[in-house]
Structure 1
Amino acid sequence: MSYISRSDLAKSPGARELAQVATPEQEAVVDADLMQASLTGADRSAWSADEIAVADQALAVIDAAVVDADAVIDGYLAPRGYLPLDPVPGIVTTWARAITRYQLHKDRVGGEKDDPIVRAYRDALALLQQTAAGKFSLGLGDTTAPAGTGSPDWSAPARQFTNDSLQDF
């Protein structure tokens, strides 16, 4: 089970952007309408077999980025006992979108300082780290506390000197 579907990705970041970043370099960029149809499972009979083959290659790149994003998310959530997630909270889908988009754009040239894709990716990782540390909850009935939280366990013998036993002193 994936945290984000192709249809979710078709809505945002959208078929045009996905076609631009996922089409193999040696091929012409997949038509945005074909990519939309490919992402949503719509009829693709209006395009040639060659165009559909390139779109399928782009889908494979997108699917690989989704698998990588799911693995990153699982790596943070597994220690907290959240897995498997059913249903998937909306925030996890948002994280999957940000991480997938970043994976698809990782070879882009440019400054990272003001890049909204990088910012969304870093925000997702920050919230995942907070979730792993127990500082952010997915609201799924957290039953596991991270190591080092809560009060310490201790035991001691009964008190030998009490106010009653020391009353005469």
Structure 2
Amino acid sequence: MIKVPLTVLGAEMLRNELQRLKSIERPSVIAAIAEARSHGDLSENAEYDAAKERQGFVEGRIADLEGKLSNAIIINPAEIDAEGRIVFGTTVDLEDCESGDAVTYQIVGDDEADIKLGKISVSSPIARALIGKSAGDVAEVQAPGGIREYEVLDVKYI
């Protein structure tokens, strides 16, 4: 199996979702199926079909989360000693060389990426361009609008 890198917070987030699916969503779907069955003829019962479809989604997501967590490599950024280089889990302060805009990103696993929270996927073009760089380096990122350059201002292991 492919190992899935996760930060400590990302793994906790997936565990919480798994717990919610197992303890709340699964029983809710089972109750909805039982309710729909009690209405009689299942061949033309839209409630039953919707509940079965929801059950398939919930069970699929549970299996997906269990697989990811069982194959996870949980990385605590605070315990990393990468000698100032950017690696998985690090938080980086960048400056767009063209506009001068400053941004801060944490490089995280695919499942925990959320650009609104400043978390970018390790497989994203910007993260791939940043891996291995240190403060003071310039990273060239292939963006849809062409190549963008970012200067690495700071690398933090938090």
Q: TM-score, normalised by structure 2?
A: 0.25
Could you say which structure has the higher helix fraction?
Answer: 1
Could you say which structure has the higher strand fraction?
Answer: 2
Task: Tell me which structure has the larger Cα radius of gyration.
Answer: 1
Higher relative contact order structure (alpha carbons within 8 Å, sequence separation ≥ 6): 2
